[in-house]
Amino acid sequence: MSEPPSNTWLPVLETNLSDDQIVAALDKAARRGRLPGLTTRGGGLFRADAYANPFEHAIEARSEREGDVTTLRFRLVMLVKVPVIYAVVLVLTAWPGLPLTDSMLSTYSDWYAQHVETWWWYVPSLVLCVPAVWGMVRKSRAAATESAREAIGKIAKELGARVVET
């Protein structure tokens, strides 16, 4: 089952505030502790944490102004730090393990050294980890989506904004 695009599962907000007023109001709320993890710099208008474990996420907001109404649309993004750490750990533990395992098994068994290439079974056993990691990504994405919806609700409250799409 494929997941819908990230912008279709998050609410859309409308407010009569300008971009500068939105940023000022949310920055004030963040400084008072009502919106932890909110930053007003980055790719969009602002960014807020969407808590998930183990893969951290954030929501980025972009605004569209039409007349007196500003529409805020949100996008859920996975932060790259933890996936990079997972990949580095996998590479740094998998590669030394292959020659070490091959050396050990070849030392203790002449038959193994003559008839079996260690990578035949070692690499597929590593590939078996992929579904587990994919499951962790999906669970993190679901938790981040729920956290993002809560954060967007707090943002709407701080701005006095209307939810126009859910």
Q: What residue type is assigned to position 80 of the chain?
A: V
pLDDT of the residue at 4 = 43
- The CA dihedral of 28, 33, 36, 40, to the nearest 10 degrees, is 10
Average pLDDT, the chain: 89
Q: What is the pLDDT of residues 13-65, one digit of tens each?
A: 999 999 999 999 999 999 999 998 898 866 679 999 999 999 999 999 999 99
Q: What is the pLDDT of residues 65-84, one digit of tens each?
A: 999 999 999 999 999 999 99
pLDDT of the residue at 43 = 67
Tally Cβ neighbours within 10 Å of residue 123: 12
pLDDT of the residue at 91 = 84
pLDDT of the residue at 26 = 94
**What is the pTM (predicted TM-score) of this model?**
0.78
User: In terms of residue numbers, what domain contains 32?
Assistant: 1-166
Using CA atoms, how far residue 8 sits from 86, 145, 158, in Å, is 28, 11, 23
Total domains in the fold of the chain = 1
> How many CA atoms, within 13 angstroms, populate the side-chain half-sphere of residue 47?
13
pLDDT of the residue at 3 = 46
pLDDT of the residue at 6 = 47
Q: What is the pLDDT of residues 95-150, one digit of tens each?
A: 888 999 999 999 999 999 999 999 999 989 888 888 888 899 999 999 999 999 99
Contact 21, 45 (CB under 8 A): no
Using CA atoms, how far residue 69 sits from 18, 26, 150, 157, in Å, is 8, 17, 23, 16
pLDDT (average), residues 89-99: 86
